[in-house]
Amino acid sequence: MQIDKQFLLDLKQHFKLNIYEVKIWTALLSRGIASAGELADISGVPRSRCYDVLESLEKKGFIIMKVGKPIKYLAIKPEIIVDRVKRNIQNEADEFASQMESIKDTEEFKELELLHKSGVKHVDINSISKSIVGRSAINRHFKDMLASAKSDVLIVVSGQHLERCVKLLKNSMPNFAKKGVKAKLYGPYNKNAVKKLQNVQHIEYNPSSTFMTIDGKEMTFMVSTENVAADYEVAIWIDSPFFAKSVNVLFEGSLK
């Protein structure tokens, strides 16, 4: 049985299987029911590996063993497999999130906080700044800033970045509602983009730059020119309450 190599690699990634498991599974799907020997011949997987691969697939719930002579294997519908894999991923994610949350109650976490506070005493945190390069890295940074917001968010966005910022804000809405964060968005009016936002005050404005401030403490602003390639986008982050508050006051004051 000849199956496109890229198709097998895609299945390997999607279902978290090794290449032998993918070959055996697709071979069984093409037959519906088959013995280990038949599957080895169809898939090209060495017979010496076929049984342990079948055992692994059975444990993962991809196939069913039919007792008899010879022992044969049945393929499970792909739709059922997708639902099962999705549930497993969700369960693993929930378990990991629970473990991470419980870390906050450990002595080790308390020591980490003490180390951080100790470090702050030796570093002037108000002068800390860094550059972020590349659209993906900048999006992650904006997302992290929004997640850390405790009281207020102010975003000034140019037309080229509007939909991007709206998407980030939309994903942050549940967190804002939970913590009572007040968000303002100054940007061009775009009905399709802005209607996606709830509990965000939108003020129609057409700025030539894009920046965000969080809780009046930190700020990130884009410094790239328009239409720059994604990998060459640059933003600057500054953790300075004095600077962030001053920008907020100057900006909102200029609109009056």
Delimit the CATH 3.30.870.10 region(s) of the chain: 127-254
The residue type found at 78 is P
Helix axes 135-148, 162-179, angle to 10 degrees: 20
CA 137 to the chain's CA centroid = 12
CATH pick for 127-254 out of 3.40.50.620, 3.40.50.300, 3.20.20.80, 3.30.870.10: 3.30.870.10
Q: pLDDT (tens digit, 0 to 9) for every residue of the chain, 256 residues total? A: 556 788 888 888 888 889 999 999 888 988 888 988 889 998 889 988 999 999 999 988 888 888 878 889 998 888 888 888 888 888 888 888 888 888 888 887 777 777 766 655 555 555 578 889 999 999 999 999 999 999 999 999 888 888 888 888 888 888 888 899 999 989 888 777 777 777 788 888 888 889 999 998 899 999 876 678 888 899 999 888 888 888 888 888 777 6
Q: How would CATH label the architecture of 5-80?
A: Orthogonal Bundle (1.10)
Delimit the CATH 1.10.10.10 region(s) of the chain: 5-80
Report pLDDT for 136: 92
Report pLDDT for 141: 93
Quote the Cα angle for 120-121-126, to 5°: 60
- Tell me how crowded residue 138 is: count the other CB atoms within 10 A of its CB: 21
Query: Residue 151: phi, psi to the nearest 5?
Result: -135, -45
Rg (CA), the chain: 27
Report pLDDT for 119: 59
**In the chain, where do the E strands start and end?**
33-35, 63-66, 72-75, 128-133, 152-156, 182-187, 200-204, 211-214, 218-222, 234-239
Q: Give the torsion through C-alpha atoms of 13, 14, 17, 23, to 10 deg.
A: -90
Contact status, residue 214 vs residue 183, Cβ threshold 8 Å: no
d(CA 149, CA 220): 13
Report pLDDT for 208: 84
Distances (CA, A) of 102 to 89, 92, 116, 186: 20, 15, 19, 38
CA 59 to the chain's CA centroid = 29
